Structure 1
């Protein structure tokens, strides 16, 4: 029996050698079996959480690379897309502090914008901010936002409003002068870079620095002849550690209008000593730095005033020029301002009329001079002839 079974195996091995792996056995031809497929584990990026669409896309992309987009799996045929587009990540938009944020309610729109820019009353504006140790970093940031909002409401420019910022604690630092920036973008960037000094509260020293250094023509203040208002706004949350009454009086006497804003622990008596009169229009108080921005619209109305020229009610025929509280009219070249100080007339150059008497005298004088010259010429000619005669006689003597 063993010999018979061994003979069958021997014959089967001969058939395999002759026919290879493709042969018929009792009329049945089995399909060729493909080699086993090894699937690699997909590698997910750490920022893609499992179960998200991005993770599924990553797995599909890995399978497509292994099977070249066309493969069989457990007897089913799958066709993957030829190209899988990468997921686009959109960063969250950041709203800058200077951009107004609008909220809609029903059909109405409410905006935190502080109002339109004021185009009148050019100023030399100095902002004096307290950054002593009592002002927390978050509170100081709110002060800088308040300053940026004020800048947004003003008409900034070399011939419009100029702004300087003074930072003070126990020491005083002029962050930038009136002549440093004439556009809002650079000015607000400089404000964002201001760092607190975090020491004492020398408010009197800060006001003296503004008067003696910031409001000078060298630092960018305009001369008195231009009649530009000088305005200082001081923001503080404490009691001054130096005397403010005398130096504030000197500053006001020099023509500086002072507004005083007190926050939280500010001493009201000191604010009243620093501010200009009337006090109810120049002294303000808020409980926290979180609501200081409500003064933006207040200062806009106070500092801007009315631009009479832009209102069109001035009556100037040619040119209207705005001043601090009023206006005046000018004429174009070749015209002069009439007595009504509004209308213009063509400039007429006066005609010079020559006195006829003076003309006749001049002609007579010219004739007299001409006659004298002719007489002298005649006498000179006679003398020349006589000299020639004398010379002729001498040669023949």
Structure 2
């Protein structure tokens, strides 16, 4: 009787969501109610290994007790002041984040999309006031197949029709080039170019890793032509690829680096634009801001999230366990697999195009206790929390092999 009631409860919740919710998502039909570490439980009590980690927002694992404690403590003292007044958490957050990432300045926001919009504004302002670009002529180079959020400015330079169709007209000033093509990047740079916005690894496009040396060459070209390099590390940053920031794989530093998602460990929307002094100095009081950006609750949560990331060696674990998981997935003998790619625990398994898409395989994995997300029709993203163990990684590969052989 109890099992029937819980099944009905799940169906009832799905029905309510369908009745009252907007249809801008098509989730798997699993209703989650609890999480701990790499695991989540549905309302029926079934346990799943989370292989999406909320698009890398839950790098530290679900409900990390130290982040919970920091959030509860701060929530009982002070949550929001707006930036009209100072608070005692923001300076400490600035210091710890900038010291960790070797940044000169940080500008706090809430979502990753807001961080992207902030960087676009900062880069344009710098272009006009420092580089000397003529009024309203600034151009920002972007990559095809990018994903930088859902705002109107951002979807206007997307190459994914499902992202931009029906939302025009769009803001001008964005120049798309093929991802991973350094020659195309150089050819697109002119006297009006103020910035190049790029993901070190394209996440939503299917975990696309650029050719070796691409990011280093991009850095050199931006320096040569006095162009601001913006690295969107909202998904790739904070340990996901086995480094604190993915730009470290080629030993570069961007002028603006965007972090979010895991900056709060999945507890609260927190993002930040990290910058050098020269570029960030273009923004003056009153020209940009957010009521919630840099609020004391967000700062306390982010400080705890960064602390456990480092103290518990989650970044090193991502590198080690990610290599193990990738090797295990790549060893699966199946003509259904086109490619396994990625870095650290930011992985993807691309299926051949004759299989009808990846979603049925995600549904099959769900039945075996793994939650994954399909992207770009034929690709399964695999990005579990960075606290994944070797045994858990091996079990994931076993479930993938079973589903692919079925």
Same-fold status (TM-score > 0.5): no
* Greater length-normalized contact order (CA 8 Å, ≥ 6 residues apart): 2
Q: TM-score, normalised to structure 2's length?
A: 0.25
Q: TM-score, normalised to structure 1's length?
A: 0.26
